[in-house]
Structure 1
Amino acid sequence: MITRDFVGLPSPPAGRAGAGGHPCQGVYHRPAGRRPRTAFIATHYNVDFSEHYLAEHLAARGYGFLGWNTRFRGDEAHFLLDHALADIGTGVRWLREEAGAERVVLLGNSGGGSLMAAYQSQAVEPNVTPVAGMRPVPAIEDLPAGDLFIALAAHSGRPEVLTAWMDPSVTDETDALSADPSLDPFDPGNGPPFDPEFQARYRAAQRARNERITDWVLARLDALEGTRARDALFTVHRTWADLRMIDPSIEPSDREPGRCYLGDPAKANYGVFGIGSLCTLRTWLSMWSLRTSQCAAAPHLARITVPSLVVHATADECVYDSDARAIFGALAARDKTLEFIKDSHYLPGSRPQAADLIDAWVRER
């Protein structure tokens, strides 16, 4: 049997909510009547991981599993990396001091891959700085490090993912329908299939769009200096347009063609649900900007030396083989392993297999 304990803790930067709720919340899964010596913690930038799909499977194999949420769960628009790392540290410390875990495994799943990499990176070699105009968070200067690191169906970082997915044909950031026909990925005249010249222009235009938004954000912050407002909300349209979502001949895999996480990319791209669709000026700089974000995985992976496992789902709709290999290559760990599972992003058909794989890898270490 599995015991599930609710865990609610104050956030180091934010304390406790006035209504009584704890900003940091999660569910600790463990074998009934036992205090596991090894425990996992999984956290995401935005998605609720309290009932993570591997929690029960790993608890059934004798581990503790804390599905943990920072105060930015469901509130991506206001995300700040240094604040989130402080909240994750609260969960890791709870595992060691209250749950009795002697060994902590950092599980970076999906977008959480780069987030948990940033956590371990900061814990072993402090490097994360506040976003422009924000005060330092003292709690991140003394984070308890993890003992093992796992990247599971993980993206290569928030600014990289947004840029790879964004539609560069947008000509007016205030108009969701504006489009440059020569870059429109859904114009049949451009493909699919998309020829190498179009792909090169498209990728360059995606990066250029990210940089234009960063220029605008920095100018807006300068304009707000001395006014009554310190920050502002804005929207980013059309972020489901990675050419690989549309053309399966680009980086072929076991994925279903013409699909993204929200189904048909054309419909999703012009819908209202998308990563980075709403954010503040400072959240853009903290999470999404290629120029200023510290949420890119590679620099943090280069500071991770603990044994590390990378697991790639070969039918993943939006994480590709190149992502997994880039993560594997960037890890500084001498003891690192790359494994593959034939399934889609959330492993709906292979969770026991994934749990067995992870269990065997952890026990060997």
Structure 2
Amino acid sequence: MTVEREFVGLPSPVVGRAGAGGHPCQGVYYRPRGSKPDVAIIATHYNIDFSEHYLADLCATRGVGFLGWNTRFRGAEPYFLLDHAVADIAVGVRWLREQAGVERVVLLGNSGGGSLMAAYQSQSVQPNLEPEYGRASIVHAAMELPGADLYISLAAHPGRPEVLTNWMDPSVISEDDPLSVDPTLDPFDQEREIPFTKEFVDRYRQAQRRRNDRITQWARSEIDRLVAAGHHDRLFTTPRLWADLRMIDGSIDPNNREFPSCYLGEPQRANYGIYGVGTVSSLRTWLSMWSLSDSQCNAAPHLARIKIPALVVEADGDSGVFPSDTRAIVDALSSADLTTHTLEGDHYLRDREGAREDAAELITNWVKDRS
């Protein structure tokens, strides 16, 4: 079966078109050539471009439409605001129903997109988003979202603030010095015993939360300082964010992953590099996306409002989403029709031949059984 691809560029209810002409909301719709599927998946991430998602062609060849959809924050993580993002996702959902002729819409929350799509469905059911510190209100377009019919969590993290906090290195002494290290918390210290002791793990996790809280308090006070001077926001960097103990010690939250490893390879090298989630942020984006105390990008409260049928899929060799993360998602969902499945493979389902095909077969069969 051949696949037909259609580029979709649409206005956002929040911002205008770029000066060069590009629409803020963009994506690619995949469908079997010459057909008009009555059920389609929409997949969106906080900032990663999903227009060429690895499941798109595979789902379309199995008769299910697939809209790889991007909000205006694709490639623009430092400026993310949750209410703006869900308003842009609604543009894609409406297009599927009103232009593509889709009767049943499936939200696919893959990787970081799991909590984002959960927030979307949650907000469509019961508007609950609140303005972050320093903002008077959320955008009106985020208050009226068309809901979906099915929800899928695929190799998904339990929330943006949770994943960043679990990954951050709490041995950082000064946020302005990426080489500053408290040796009592350094997971890469050559004298550190592995497997890590329970005492060290507990102390490390507490220190991670304290680091997140310190950045939040600084961000709030910095907003106050800037506003008092007549300004709105600023960017800042957060160093050393590849230090989840589970990336180093495979006995913690065990699965079939290789270790030490992370999505960028060797954790210590990645930890002192410049790539990764949350490395650059505005003050307001920190509060909207990364702050444990302020962010509404944590999945659990949103998952609790999801009662539509749900499928939760984990990869057994994932080095960034761990079994306890998946259990937290399953436990938080309120769906009476809830299916769980474990696939053999890594986070991106690249390492095992046929893993992506298996995922597409699982997902499309599950969707068709409920259509």
When the two structures are superposed, what TM-score results if normalisation uses the length of structure 2?
Answer: 0.97
Please tell me whether the aligned partners of residues 153 and 313 of structure 2 are also in contact (alpha carbons under 8 angstroms).
Answer: yes
Task: Using the TM superposition, give the Cα deviation of residue 63 of structure 1 relative to its aligned residue in structure 2, in angstroms.
Answer: 1.0
Q: Of residues 208, 217, 220 in structure 2, which corresponds to 1:218?
A: 220
Please tell me whether the aligned partners of residues 185 and 191 of structure 1 are also in contact (alpha carbons under 8 angstroms).
Answer: no
RMSD: 0.8
Task: Using the TM superposition, give the Cα deviation of residue 130 of structure 1 relative to its aligned residue in structure 2, in angstroms.
Answer: 2.3
Deviations 1:49-94 (A, max 9, x none): 0000000000000011000000000000000000000000000000
CA distance in 2, matches of 1:173, 1:5: 45
Q: Supply the AA of the counterpart residue of 1:128.
A: L
1:201 aligns with 2:210: no
Q: Supply the AA of the counterpart residue of 1:306.
A: I
What corresponds to 2:367 in structure 1? 362
**Secondary structure at 1:357's aligned position in 2?**
helix
1:352 aligns with 2:353: no
Q: Supply the AA of the counterpart residue of 2:363.
A: I
What corresponds to 1:237 in structure 2? 239
Deviations 1:14-69 (A, max 9, x none): 02222211011100000000110000000000110000000000000001100000
What corresponds to 2:77 in structure 1? 76
Q: Supply the AA of the counterpart residue of 2:274.
A: V
What corresponds to 1:304 in structure 2? 306
What corresponds to 1:262 in structure 2? 264
CA distance in 2, matches of 1:27, 1:21: 14
Unaligned runs of 5+ in 2: none
Task: Using the TM superposition, give the Cα deviation of residue 227 of structure 1 relative to its aligned residue in structure 2, in angstroms.
Answer: 1.4
Please tell me whether the aligned partners of residues 25 and 88 of structure 2 are also in contact (alpha carbons under 8 angstroms).
Answer: yes
Deviations 1:85-125 (A, max 9, x none): 00000000000000000000000000000000000000010
Number of equivalenced pairs: 365
Please tell me whether the aligned partners of residues 129 and 138 of structure 2 are also in contact (alpha carbons under 8 angstroms).
Answer: no
What corresponds to 1:246 in structure 2? 248
Task: Using the TM superposition, give the Cα deviation of residue 363 of structure 1 relative to its aligned residue in structure 2, in angstroms.
Answer: 1.7
CA distance in 1, matches of 2:186, 2:71: 37
Task: Using the TM superposition, give the Cα deviation of residue 281 of structure 1 relative to its aligned residue in structure 2, in angstroms.
Answer: 0.4
CA distance in 1, matches of 2:162, 2:154: 17
Task: Please list, as runs of the form range in 1=range in 2, the aligned pairs for 1:146-165 lying within 5 A after superposition.
Answer: 146-165=148-167
Deviations 1:117-176 (A, max 9, x none): 000000010001222333421111111101000000000000000000000000000000
Please tell me whether the aligned partners of residues 29 and 55 of structure 1 are also in contact (alpha carbons under 8 angstroms).
Answer: yes
Task: Please list, as runs of the form range in 1=range in 2, the aligned pairs for 1:318-329 lying within 5 A after superposition.
Answer: 318-329=320-331
CA distance in 2, matches of 1:19, 1:191: 55
CA distance in 2, matches of 1:184, 1:132: 32
Task: Please list, as runs of the form range in 1=range in 2, the aligned pairs for 1:280-291 lying within 5 A after superposition.
Answer: 280-291=282-293
CA distance in 1, matches of 2:181, 2:44: 36
Please tell me whether the aligned partners of residues 190 and 198 of structure 1 are also in contact (alpha carbons under 8 angstroms).
Answer: no
CA distance in 1, matches of 2:83, 2:237: 23
When the two structures are superposed, what TM-score results if normalisation uses the length of structure 1?
Answer: 0.99
**Secondary structure at 2:171's aligned position in 1?**
coil
**Secondary structure at 1:325's aligned position in 2?**
helix
Larger deviation: 342-351 or 232-241?
342-351
Task: Using the TM superposition, give the Cα deviation of residue 207 of structure 1 relative to its aligned residue in structure 2, in angstroms.
Answer: 0.3
What corresponds to 1:277 in structure 2? 279
Q: Of residues 303, 313, 332 in structure 2, which corresponds to 1:330?
A: 332
Task: Please list, as runs of the form range in 1=range in 2, the aligned pairs for 1:77-156 lying within 5 A after superposition.
Answer: 77-134=78-135, 135-156=137-158
Task: Using the TM superposition, give the Cα deviation of residue 188 of structure 1 relative to its aligned residue in structure 2, in angstroms.
Answer: 2.3
Q: Supply the AA of the counterpart residue of 1:364.
A: D
CA distance in 1, matches of 2:260, 2:130: 39
Larger deviation: 125-134 or 54-63?
125-134
CA distance in 2, matches of 1:155, 1:361: 21
Q: Supply the AA of the counterpart residue of 1:68.
A: W
CA distance in 2, matches of 1:10, 1:109: 24
CA distance in 1, matches of 2:97, 2:16: 21
Larger deviation: 126-135 or 161-170?
126-135
CA distance in 2, matches of 1:243, 1:265: 10
CA distance in 2, matches of 1:191, 1:126: 48
Larger deviation: 118-127 or 184-193?
184-193
What corresponds to 2:229 in structure 1? 227
CA distance in 2, matches of 1:328, 1:338: 8
CA distance in 1, matches of 2:277, 2:191: 27
CA distance in 1, matches of 2:369, 2:63: 15
Q: Percent identity?
A: 63
1:192 aligns with 2:194: yes
Larger deviation: 294-303 or 122-131?
122-131
Unaligned runs of 5+ in 1: none
Structure 1 segments of 4 or more deviating over 3 A? none
Please tell me whether the aligned partners of residues 79 and 283 of structure 1 are also in contact (alpha carbons under 8 angstroms).
Answer: yes
CA distance in 2, matches of 1:45, 1:353: 25
What corresponds to 1:38 in structure 2? 39
CA distance in 2, matches of 1:151, 1:259: 23
CA distance in 1, matches of 2:138, 2:213: 26
1:10 aligns with 2:15: no
